[in-house]
Chains A and B, each alone.
Chain A
Amino acid sequence: DSGVTQTPKHLITATGQRVTLRCSPRSGDLSVYWYQQSLDQGLQFLIQYYNGEERAKGNILERFSAQQFPDLHSELNLSSLELGDSALYFCASSEGNWDTEAFFGQGTRLTVV
């Protein structure tokens, strides 16, 4: 158990819909990272928040957005879903900024039908 909690574990939704994935970081960790893992693209970094502020952006689509709340939990919002958005979405957390050890949650498996 990494200490990072992601909900829900599985999500099935239709194209065009909007979903919210939730992440609770390890106690004391200030950074939250979101990743997308698919068979053809591998593990892709989406976005990072540190203590409530966006710190880094990767390959995140404009249809996707995220935020980190004062209690440090984070949400990833995916809208206007397409079939190609089906993937595993991971949240990771770390104590500090980059170059510190990051702990991954178990992921949310999103299936868009």
Chain B
Amino acid sequence: TQLLEQSPQFLSIQEGENLTVYCNSSSVFSSLQWYRQEPGEGPVLLVTVVTGGEVKKLKRLTFQFGDARKDSSLHITAAQPGDTGLYLCAGAGNTGNQFYFGTGTSLTVIP
């Protein structure tokens, strides 16, 4: 099993603030995905990063894959209440036959 630890576990911020969520592992992943899950729903894919050092931007969200492909971060600029949800990272195993999900970060953005 390839473990992914996310931090912080819980985050509550005011609308308009910036935040960063981290996803760390001692294992190397061939690719890494970030999902957002809202209550009562399944996870929804936000982005996939595949190259060490890669940075992808999705409007106010910036995703970075670590150079060694062991860690990733998600930065949200000017958070909005609609960003509230559970953020999950998922790494593709070295054998390529499953994704290992992180422990999750529960984000609440207060209006």
CA distance A26 to B60 in the complex (A): 29
Q: Tell me, yes or no, whether B48 is within 8 Å of chain A by CB.
A: yes
Q: Tell me, yes or no, whether B103 is within 8 Å of chain A by CB.
A: yes
Residues on A with C-beta less than 8 A from B101 are 35, 42-45
| Contacting residue for B40 out of A35, A44, A59, A106, CB 8 A | A106
B31 engages A99 (CB within 8 Å): yes
CA distance A42 to B42 in the complex (A): 13
* Interface residues contributed by chain B, number (CB under 8 Å): 22
* Interface residues contributed by chain A, number (CB under 8 Å): 23
Tell me if B's interface is mostly helix, strand, loop or mixed: loop
B69-111 interface with A by 8 A CB criterion: 88, 90, 92, 96-104
Question: How many Å from the CB of B8 to the closest CB on chain A?
Answer: 15
Q: Tell me, yes or no, whether B68 is within 8 Å of chain A by CB.
A: no
Question: How many Å from the CB of B85 to the closest CB on chain A?
Answer: 13
Q: Which A-B residue pairs are the 10 nearest by beta carbons?
A: A104-B42, A43-B101, A56-B97, A45-B98, A104-B43, A90-B42, A56-B98, A42-B103, A105-B42, A101-B45
